[in-house]
Amino acid sequence: MVGLRRDRGTAAYLEGLAAETRSCARLERDGYRILARRLRTPLGEIDIIAANARCLVFLEVKRRRTLDEAAFSLGARQSSRLMSAAEFVFATRPEWRRDETRFDVVLYDNRGTIRWIEAALP
């Protein structure tokens, strides 16, 4: 039983990494440069930080069985941690600031469906 749970956990971790890699590829195709992946701060982790000349994007990637499950997995507490982590980034990496800042969420399901929500968080 423990081995089975560990295998599912490993598979979920690898699927999450693959979703993040796909998200990075899209950002790069759209002209963004990836500044950080899985950036750990004392206030929380940010999946992806990307920028172009005018916009800095903090991206949260969620992969679940369905898009609805992925959407509902981002709760108020995690959103708050993401915002706090972003403030930490601004304080420690002022050179990353841009005229515009956006908090996007990208959702993936088991069928490979993607929903990218720009400016998902205020």
Give the residue-averaged pLDDT of 103-115. 96
- How far is 59 from 56, CA to CA, in rounded Å? 10
Q: Which domain holds residue 31?
A: 2-121
Q: 80 has which bridge partners?
A: none
- 58-87 tens-digit pLDDT: 999 999 999 999 999 999 999 999 999 999
Quick check: 1 pLDDT over 60? no
Quick check: 8 pLDDT over 80? no
- How far is 107 from 73, CA to CA, in rounded Å? 10
Distances (CA, A) of 21 to 9, 26, 40, 45, 98: 18, 9, 17, 16, 23
Taking the model in full, what pTM does it have? 0.90
Pure H helices in 30-75: 67-72
How many structural domains are present in the chain? 1
Q: How far from chain centre, in Å, is Cα 87?
A: 16
Task: List the CATH number of the domain containing 106.
Answer: 3.40.1350.10
Among residues 10, 6, 74, 12, the alpha carbon closest in space to that of 46 is found at 74
Q: How many residues does the structure list for the chain?
A: 122
Quick check: 114 pLDDT over 60? yes
Q: 46 has which bridge partners?
A: 39
User: What's the chain's average pLDDT?
Assistant: 94
Model confidence at 3, pLDDT cuts 50, 70, 90, reads: low
Quick check: 113 pLDDT over 70? yes
Model confidence at 4, pLDDT cuts 50, 70, 90, reads: low
- 12-40 tens-digit pLDDT: 889 989 999 999 999 999 999 999 999 99
